[in-house]
Structure 1
Amino acid sequence: MDLDLALRDDSPPPLTYQSTSDEKRNNERWERSNCLCLMIIKKAIPEAFKRTMSKTMVTVKEFLQDIEKKFVKNEKTEVNTPLTRLISMKYSGKGNIREYIMEISHLASKLNALKLKLSEELLVHLILISLPTQFS
């Protein structure tokens, strides 16, 4: 059974009186696949999300695109978490200073991957001000 046929192929053209038996068979297979995919997906998603979905979705591809629109990544939110953590970090005096600095470096590389580049001078400054006064 081609359960994923509706995900792989676009909707076939509407049937006409001149449609061949192969076209009719392919259309029926696609319709069955589309219906099954929609039922499976709708059964699997939580009820809270079902209420936000449009009722006019005809194809599984449209349904998945609608879901994708609702869960578009917000880059500002992705940057906010590591940046807030980086700025608010304070060395407690427990543990290895090298590991603490490596953790700061790791956060900086995450921010760099999110296209927020921090200079080495700024990182050094953030590290120095996060250390207790006896270390700086």
Structure 2
Amino acid sequence: MSCLKEVPTLRGDNDTEWRKKVELTFVCADLDWVLDEPQPVRPTEPVRETTDDDAAWDKKRGDYAPLEMSYIIDNQKWVNANKKCMAFIKNTIESIIVGSIAECTSAAELLTKIKSQFTGSSKIYATQVLKQLVTEQYTGGGIKEHILRMSNMTAKLKPMDEDLKIKPKLLVHLVMASLPKEFETFVMNYNMSPETWDIEKTIVMCVQEGDRLKASHGGTLNYVKDHKKKNYNQNNKSSPSKPQGKAPHQHQRQQ
């Protein structure tokens, strides 16, 4: 029963994770065999030939009887197991997705159609996550939360495909690349150092560097996305791209 509670609802972007949990649940419930075994086929009933006497016919019927009984037992067992698996699968899928899948007669067929339907969407989702990961930029706020958000992105990729797993060293480099130019010296020192950090140490060191930068700027520091800052003059009174105004207006302000 604990396995049942851990199965997420299939939304379309979590097909791999959902499938693993479903298959584990079937193993725990001793129902996984129905995914590999086709429905039993009824044995061919004997036919009395014109050459068969009563003894020969009785023998044919006698030989068929245990085959028929075995089929009835095995088929009922398969039908019950398949019914449970089908119901479980359908009840762990969003209703809109269930309606888009063609009717199936077996749990194995249903899983195959689900996999086929969501392979493309999983690839699209993985591409979106990767794009977000490599373009992520820290623009202020909690730097720890920023790094954890990037770490969570990599965790989303692993269940989709083991080949998409982002290694810790690469994640650290992606984090460094996401930092603004105020961290330029900090990043340079890391790249020149022979030491490599895991994500936990990266968080600690980045938080310390962020605190140091704030202290050096009087306790506050604003990071601007894409390293673009508004071009104000030193007195921060006006922008060079904005007209200074007419002299009489300036005289009125002075008064």
Alignment of 1:6-17 (within 5 A): 6-17=34-45
Structure-1 residue corresponding to 2:81: 33
Alignment of 1:54-93 (within 5 A): 54-55=102-103, 57-72=104-119, 74-90=122-138, 92=140
Counterpart Cα distance in 2 of 1:15 and 1:66: 29
Structure-1 residue corresponding to 2:245: none
Amino acid at match of 1:39: A
Q: TM-score, normalised by structure 1?
A: 0.58
Deviation at 1:134, TM superposition (A): 8.1
Deviation at 1:44, TM superposition (A): 4.2
- Gap regions ≥5 residues in structure 2: 1-28, 46-63, 158-162, 187-255
Counterpart Cα distance in 1 of 2:117 and 2:37: 24
Amino acid at match of 2:39: S
Amino acid at match of 1:64: L
Q: Equivalent residue of 2:40, what SS?
A: coil
Contact 2:36-2:108 at 8 Å conserved across structures? no
Counterpart Cα distance in 1 of 2:91 and 2:165: 38
Amino acid at match of 1:67: I
Q: Equivalent residue of 2:38, what SS?
A: coil
Deviation at 1:133, TM superposition (A): 8.7
Structure-2 residue corresponding to 1:114: 164
Deviation at 1:68, TM superposition (A): 1.9
Q: Deviations over 1:40-75 (max 9, x none)?
A: 4334433212211212x1111101211222222633
Return closer, same or farther for 1:135/1:90 CA change in 2, 3 Å cut-off. Answer: farther
Deviation at 1:29, TM superposition (A): 1.3
RMSD: 4.4
Q: Deviations over 1:114-134 (max 9, x none)?
A: 389xx9xx96x9467x32398
Return closer, same or farther for 1:86/1:66 CA change in 2, 3 Å cut-off. Answer: same
Return closer, same or farther for 1:28/1:76 CA change in 2, 3 Å cut-off. Answer: closer
Counterpart Cα distance in 2 of 1:115 and 1:134: 28
Larger Rg: 2
Contact 2:34-2:78 at 8 Å conserved across structures? yes
Contact 2:135-2:178 at 8 Å conserved across structures? no
Q: TM-score, normalised by structure 2?
A: 0.36
Contact 2:34-2:81 at 8 Å conserved across structures? yes
1:45 aligns with 2:73: no
Report % sequence identity: 17
Deviation at 1:21, TM superposition (A): 1.9
Contact 2:35-2:107 at 8 Å conserved across structures? yes
Q: Equivalent residue of 1:89, what SS?
A: coil
- Gap regions ≥5 residues in structure 1: none
Deviation at 1:38, TM superposition (A): 2.0
